[in-house]
Amino acid sequence: MERTLAIIKPDAVRRGFVGDIIKRIDASGLKLRALRLMHLTRAQAEAFYEVHKERPFYKSLCDYMSSGPVVIAVLEGERAIPRWRELMGATDPKKADAGTLRKDFGIDVEQNAVHGSDAPETAAREVAFFFSSLDIVS
């Protein structure tokens, strides 16, 4: 069993896709283990994406991620990390496969609807960034 952090990003929340995206999670067999709605401060967005701080898109990414509420979830299942990344699709919605969340709900390479952890170490860090052990259903 593996856990990963999922975020429904501000563009997707704003455009009313929370229900559709949670429906895809349920249909995939991944289990919701924690769920919260948050409007990140800019400082929280900066800390969450610290790994990208040297990238040219960092400032804009932090503005975007703190521009409105997000839905943050812990997903659990066998191979949860790669399975959630597969459901999400490629970073750029234009390059994402048909039927993926980013293809169906993303706007552009920045406003791409969803986040997912990319490895066990980042998943552990990202889950702990938003949730305490008491928040996670076992």
Q: Which residues bind ligand CDP (CB under 6 A)?
A: 52, 57, 61, 91, 109-110, 112, 115, 118
Least CB distance to ligand CDP at residue 134 (A) = 28
Selection from Mg ion, ligand CDP, none that 107 binds (CB < 5 to 8 A by kind) is: none
Tell me if residue 39 is catalytic: no
Least CB distance to Mg ion at residue 13 (A) = 19
Which helix or strand (DSSP H or E) is residue 80 part of? helix 80-88
Select from 102, 104, 99, 115 the least CA-distant residue to 51. 115
Between helix 80-88 and helix 18-28 the angle, nearest 10°, is 130
- Catalytic residue from among 70, 76, 115, 117: 115
Helices (H) and strands (E) in the chain, counts: 7, 4
Q: Which residues carry out catalysis?
A: 115
